[in-house]
């Protein structure tokens, strides 16, 4: 028998599926893909992307048990299972609502209101988020700037295996909590997508040669996904809408870098432990 793959190794292999979604280079299809990920907030962005790669027209998916217990629906005998990564691994199967039968009145909220938004931010989310960033050697500081200014990210250390702070993200005191949360997410995206380089012990990709247009598009995509999955409308909505309306094709980007950044940022916001740095051998 061959070696058993860990969830991390299996995830790396499955990321290759994203390269097969050729039609994402089209602007309209890319926005459809982002909105698909935003609809299913209960699942990780990676798993939702995995479902999209297998069946882009999925209306709503759930496990067989979830369909039976929550919606009194049964999976058809000839239903096509969709593969996802199970927490703790390795895989699990989910099914689209079109592959189930049962009570039509009981439908998931995501079908009735797929993009429900609140427009407000709980201040404790930002404070907790900042604390978890510090634990990962990323500091943030509020400065008094002109109201037109957002924030910036700076690399503080270029020494691998250094236990000190690696990055500083500056925020504007004059901006609202929602804007500063978006700024944190946007600037983190530049780190996690590899736009500020990657040292030997940093787990994000080394992509400093990415064009400014592509780097901004990736960061705005991450901001759009994270904020919308939190139930927030932000400036990323306007940025992407204007860009995609004016361009038939999106710039050259890494879907893998975008989705991995979303995964890491959502875990940090929720207070989950993640390992962003490798240990010295």
Q: Measuring CA to CA, how many Å separate 115 from each of 34, 63, 181, 206, 236?
A: 12, 22, 19, 34, 15
Structure tokens at 223: 């901001």
* pTM assigned to the model: 0.86
Phi, psi dihedral angles at 144 (to 5 degrees): -85, 105
DSSP assignment letter at 55: -
Pick from 273, 269, 277, 279: which is nearest to 125 by CA? 269
Longest dimension (CA), the chain: 63
Q: What is the pLDDT along the chain (281 residues), one digit of tens a residue?
A: 344 445 555 566 566 665 556 578 888 889 899 999 998 988 999 999 999 988 999 989 999 999 999 888 999 999 999 999 887 778 899 999 999 998 766 666 666 555 455 567 778 888 899 999 999 999 999 988 776 677 899 999 999 998 899 999 999 988 888 888 999 999 999 999 999 999 999 999 999 999 999 999 999 999 999 999 988 877 777 788 888 888 889 999 999 899 999 999 999 999 998 999 998 87
CA–CA gap between residue 115 and residue 254 (Å, rounded): 25
Query: How deeply is 67 buried, as exposed, middle or buried, from its count of CB atoms within 10 A (0-12, 13-18, 19+)?
Result: buried
Structure tokens at 215: 């780097």
């Amino acid at each position: 028998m061959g070696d058993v793959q860990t969830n991390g190794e299996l995830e790396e292999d499955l990321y290759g599926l994203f390269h097969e979604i050729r039609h994402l280079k089209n602007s309209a299809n890319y926005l459809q893909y982002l909105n698909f990920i935003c609809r299913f907030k209960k699942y990780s962005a990676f798993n939702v992307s995995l479902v999209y790669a297998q069946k882009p027209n999925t209306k709503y998916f759930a496990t067989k048990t979830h369909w039976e217990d929550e919606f009194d629906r049964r999976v058809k005998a000839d239903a096509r299972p969709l593969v996802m990564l199970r927490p703790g691994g390795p895989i699990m199967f989910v099914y689209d609502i079109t592959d189930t039968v049962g009570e039509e009145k009981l439908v998931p909220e995501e079908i009735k209101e797929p993009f429900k938004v609140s427009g407000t931010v709980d201040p404790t989310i930002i404070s907790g988020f900042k604390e978890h960033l510090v634990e990962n050697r990323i500091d943030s500081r509020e400065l008094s700037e002109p109201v037109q200014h957002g924030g910036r990210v700076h690399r503080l250390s270029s020494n691998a295996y250094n236990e000190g702070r690696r990055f500083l993200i500056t925020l504007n005191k004059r901006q609202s909590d929602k804007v500063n949360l978006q700024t944190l997410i946007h600037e983190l995206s530049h780190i996690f997508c590899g736009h500020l380089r990657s040292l030997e012990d940093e787990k994000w990709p080394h992509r400093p040669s990415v064009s400014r247009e592509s780097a901004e598009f990736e960061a705005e995509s991450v901001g759009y996904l994270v904020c919308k999955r939190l139930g927030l409308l932000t400036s990323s909505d306007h940025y992407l809408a204007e860009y995609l309306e004016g361009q038939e094709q999106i710039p050259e980007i890494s879907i893998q870098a975008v989705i991995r950044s979303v995964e890491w940022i959502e875990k940090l916001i929720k207070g989950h432990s993640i390992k962003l740095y490798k240990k010295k051998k």
